[in-house]
Structure 1
Amino acid sequence: MIFLAIGGELVGIISIYDPLKPEAKETIMNLRRSGFKNIIMLTGDSENAAKHIAEELNIDGYLAGVLPEDKANYVKKLRDEGHKVVMVGDGVNDTPALSCADVSISLQDSSDIARELADVTLTSSSLEEIVVFKQLSKLLMKRIKRNYTRIVTLGLILLGMFGILPASTTSLIHNGSTFIFAMSSSTSLLEN
């Protein structure tokens, strides 16, 4: 609320409302399903506005009326306590906290500096893309571990080290298997 007074007398009130993104509530639920345990909102908004939004979105906690350095200090505190912190921010006021997080994410419509500073900038303005990013990162790590296990399982290093197979044969098998793994890794992660 912005109050306008002329000569000490109230002549007008301007109410500014920043509406929630339509997908915000569903995104919070999906983040919880994907493994996020504690979702906190850090905002410069008033206590009343922050409380209302936190209740509407079923957020675990919030800090209202915080300055950019307060956001960064809170992120540092969480990290010092041993938590892994993912920070999603879109404005200049979020950049100190983005730089302190384990993983920082900005959206397509974020400020230039937030997009530049974030570890990941999503190519969409939809909050639901954060959930997709989480799914992709889990699937990618699973694929990397699977491919590594397959390579090690081939045991080519040991066969070559002990002279069971000549180096040229192990090199050929290794390069061939690397090509096959690279081809299988080029498939879409979300279709698996």
Structure 2
Amino acid sequence: MDPQDNESFREFVDARWSALLRLANLLTGGDRHEAEDLVQSALMKALGRWRHVENPEAYVRKVMYRQQISRWRLRRPHREPTFAAPPRDAGVADGTGAADLRITVRQALARLTARQRTVLVLRYFEDLSESEVAAVLGCSIGTVRSTTHRSLARLRAQAPELGGGPAADAITAPLGNAPKGARA
């Protein structure tokens, strides 16, 4: 590129940068960084063909439109979002909250007797009805109900870290299950 072309390109960029950036800002949905990248990559393409371009503004705009369309088509779901500040709930948003809850539930269940643990696991984790649990354990439905009630009361007393809500919700939260009677 000769010095004269170089100078005319610099003058074009100085004169039209703001207008091109406004257009890119609209094309990218207000993402300032992506808009700057779009303008810069379009200008780089224009620079390579600068001698042959009759209408530089129209050429750069057309390149920007086509590049943005290509970006829309090639959007990858794994792109990292950019934030000015980290999210407020950083500990919960990274998935550690669910893992912590699973560990807490596992430890709380370990504090129960084998029968209590079995009834709660069959009832809430395996999602069996009271009659199905009674059939599996070979006992009456009343025994399942009373054992479930006592087990949940003991769980609430021994593991207050599970929260003040219904213990069944705290138990079933890690797996996303709920007892059949609790479903909407």
Q: TM-score, normalised by structure 2?
A: 0.30
Q: TM-score, normalised by structure 1?
A: 0.29
Higher strand share: 1
Higher relative contact order (Cα pairs below 8 Å, separated by 6+ residues): 2
